[in-house]
Amino acid sequence: MNRMLVSTAITPIVWGTTYAVTSELLPDNRPLLAAALRALPAGLVLLAVTRLLPRGSWWWKAAVLGTLNIGVFFAMLFYAAYRLPGGVAAVLGATGPLLTVGLSAALLRIRPTMIAVGAGLLGVLGVSFVVLRPDAQLDLLGILAGLFGTASMATGTVLTKRWGRPDGVGALPFTAWQLTAGGLLLAPVALVAEGLPAALTGTHLAGYGYLATVGTALAYWLWFRGIAALPATSVAFLALLSPITAAVLGWLALSQTLRPVQVLGLVVALAGTLLGQLPGHPRIGLAAQATPSRTTPTAPRSPVAS
């Protein structure tokens, strides 16, 4: 089995723990603050460790990727989660692989395959079985935010694949640039919109610490490293492991029940994830051209989200 694929799959599994950590450890009604504290401290620490800043055009490219993959994605994700039942938000996130299929066709010139489209539909269907309930209430702004956040992450994933990384720059500083850019975007919005809690307990600090280190710094380092080495769509389908993990963790740790239809949904979503790893067509057109001289070559890919 591909070791890079396995290590990259750790990221959505870790992301699947976010709901439990947020509901059990963090203060109420501070979604944007949680997003900012996930991104900015982790980015600044990684910058201090790597001591490497962008150069030339990578200043604006890192800002764009940080905005798409971190800033906008985190803000829309938490906004949608605040206005929608968790199940509805998870289904919107499960559309990420399908969006990545379309964006890969537009930006990477990779023709969508029936396997990729079928796997994406299986993923959405499976996640729907797992998380949707008959009494789920819909909110238009929440739905739009969820779709916009998923589209932002899908666009960031595909652009990360298209642009590659600067020569000599590893995944760790590349992750630091994006987390810092996204965190700098989120922090002032969170302070203005929500402000700081009246008090932070040890439990709150433990929750924020876990999200910033394991849930963000480690997880995004593995994610961006995987994007560089694997097909963009293959990485996108791994994101389906996040709601699967959340459902299983809720059953194991939070005494939530799993009905037969949910078990069926877990199997279907997992099938969509595995089907999404099957090789697709060789790349054609623009994607087949040589990468720019300032970026490292990227592997062929087959076709964001968190």
Tokens of 19: 């709901």
Give buried/exposed letters for 100-112 (b at 16+ CB in 10 A, else e).
bbbbbbebbebbb
CB neighbour list of residue 133: distance below 8 Å, 6 or more residues apart: 85, 87
Tokens of 193: 């919109």
Q: Are 51 and 281 in contact (CB under 8 A)?
A: no
H helices of 54-139, in order, are: 58-66, 73-83, 86-94, 96-107, 114-131
Report the interhelical angle of 86-94 vs 73-83 (nearest 10°): 140
Tokens of 173: 């500083």
pLDDT in tens, the chain (306 residues): 588 999 999 998 998 888 778 878 888 888 889 899 999 999 999 999 999 999 999 999 999 999 999 999 988 877 776 676 555 666 667 778 888 888 888 888 888 788 888 888 888 888 777 766 665 566 778 778 888 988 999 999 999 999 999 999 999 999 999 999 999 999 999 999 898 888 889 999 999 999 999 999 999 999 999 998 888 888 888 888 887 787 777 777 766 676 787 778 778 878 888 888 876 544 433 333 333 434 433 333 333 334
> Facing residues of 295 across strands?
166
Tokens of 75: 């803000």
Q: DSSP assignment of 155-174, as one string?
A: HHHHHHHHH--BTT--HHHH
Whole-number Å distance between alpha carbons of 71 and 53: 19
Q: Which amino acid is at 270?
A: L
pTM: 0.79
Q: Which residue has the tokens 């809720």?
A: 250
